[in-house]
Amino acid sequence: MAQKTFLPNEGQLAAVIGDRDTVTGFILAGVGDSGLKKNPNFLIVDNKTPQDVIENSFHNFLSRRDIAIIIINQHIAELIRHLIDAHEDPIPVIVEIPSKDRPYDFSKDYIMARLVSMKAIKRMD
């Protein structure tokens, strides 16, 4: 995939893929954006959400020039790990976060795995 370029005066957004509580929290904090001409920058995932919907939203967020960060619950990231691992561009950055019901697992984090593979940090597990 060709590396995206961003203009410094463009507004950059964060996209959120997560459970209802996570997405609601980020929307209340001002992250949500769904103008008339563009799709929302968030996806609420529950146990009935098909994997292809999650994958399509992730691909959509990757291709949008206005998205600089994708925030995703770690347990949802596990469902699309193959797509996250294939993403090599520096932007958008993919940040995995815990959910209310599931703790953070350092060993599964995309960014931490890359840092460990580059020997930028020592393993903590």
Q: How does pLDDT run along the chain (125 residues), one tens digit per residue?
A: 455 555 454 668 999 999 999 999 999 998 888 765 678 999 999 999 999 999 999 999 999 999 999 999 999 999 999 999 999 898 999 999 998 888 887 777 767 776 777 765 555 55
- Determine the Cα–Cα distance for residues 84 and 70; give it in Å rounded to an integer: 10
The fold for domain 13-117 equals Rossmann fold (3.40.50)
Spatial separation of the C-alpha atoms in residues 66 and 10, rounded to whole Å: 7
- Alpha-carbon torsion, ordered 55, 2, 16, 125, to 10 deg: 90
State the pTM of this model. 0.80
